[in-house]
Chains A and B, each alone.
Chain A
Amino acid sequence: GAGVSQSPSNKVTEKGKDVELRCDPISGHTALYWYRQSLGQGLEFLIYFQGNSAPDKSGLPSDRFSAERTGGSVSTLTIQRTQQEDSAVYLCASSLTGTGYGYTFGSGTRLTVV
């Protein structure tokens, strides 16, 4: 597609439920990144994909968080047993290569855990 697409744009969930956030990167971009933007804080790196593999998942805050990428394209970030502190905007970015420049960000998914 023309840009990075994320869905849903907004998600309200009850504490303890699982959620899935989707990212559809720009076609041909091999690198894909997930970041989290919490209120009053900067962007926090979560995970990096190169193709379908995740050589850097050091930013995932707990084992409740997982992500996968299939076909070198769509990625899904899953949060199990959501907690209120998981409330944030989850941003996805893709890049032609994993060089750190040329990122294109999606508009994000705003997750609210009630």
Chain B
Amino acid sequence: AQSVAQPEDQVNVAEGNPLTVKCTYSVSGNPYLFWYVQYPNRGLQFLLKYITGDNLVKGSYGFEAEFNKSQTSFHLKKPSALVSDSALYFCAVRDKSNTGKLIFGQGTTLQVKP
């Protein structure tokens, strides 16, 4: 079965420090991977995706993610965190059925302290 795991419920970082939000996946074949962010009382916003090609993917708001096939990981990173990055982050993988539905992880709350 396809699945996504986000092992950390919450990540705390100080403003200006680098941040990493972890994601591992389990899917047969080549995965299509995504990161979304959810601000309070808002819908999910797309950050970035990996479909194929370069393992380092750059996305919105200075975020990037590295696809690592051997470790089946797709960790989200940012070199210097901002207080405004505080939000709920979801990793997702596209289901193998021909519907485009996404399988989401449980989410990780990122808290950036000033």
Q: Does A108 lie at the interface of the complex (its beta carbon under 8 Å from any beta carbon of B)? A: yes
In the complex, B113 has a CB within 8 A of chain A: no
Give the A-B contact count at a CB cut-off of 8 A.
68
Say whether A43 contacts B100, CB under 8 Å.
Answer: no
* A97 at the B interface (CB under 8 A): yes
* Known contacts A42-B106, A43-B90, A100-B32; A91 and B43 CB within 8 A of each other: yes
Q: State whether B90 touches A56 (Cβ < 8 A).
A: no
A58-109 interface with B by 8 A CB criterion: 59, 91, 93, 95, 97-108
Q: In whole angstroms, what is the CA distance A4 to B45 when docked?
A: 12
Q: Which of B65-114 contact A (CB under 8 A)?
A: 90, 92, 94-95, 97-107
User: How many angstroms from the CA of A31 to the CA of B43 in the assembled complex?
Assistant: 17
Q: Which residue of the partner chain A has the closest CB to B98?
A: A98
Contact A91 B49 (CB under 8 A): no
**Which of B43, B90, B101 touches A45 (beta carbons < 8 Å)?**
B101
Say whether A1 faces chain B, with CB atoms less than 8 Å apart.
Answer: no
B44 at the interface (CB under 8 A from A): yes
Q: Is A108 within 8 A of B43, CB to CB?
A: yes
Q: Does B102 lie within 8 Å of A42, measured CB to CB? A: no
5 further A-B contacts with Cβ under 8 Å, apart from A45-B102, A101-B49, A107-B41, are A35-B104, A43-B102, A44-B104, A103-B102, A107-B43
Nearest 10 interchain pairs by C-beta: A100-B100, A105-B43, A100-B94, A98-B100, A43-B104, A42-B104, A105-B44, A42-B106, A107-B43, A56-B99
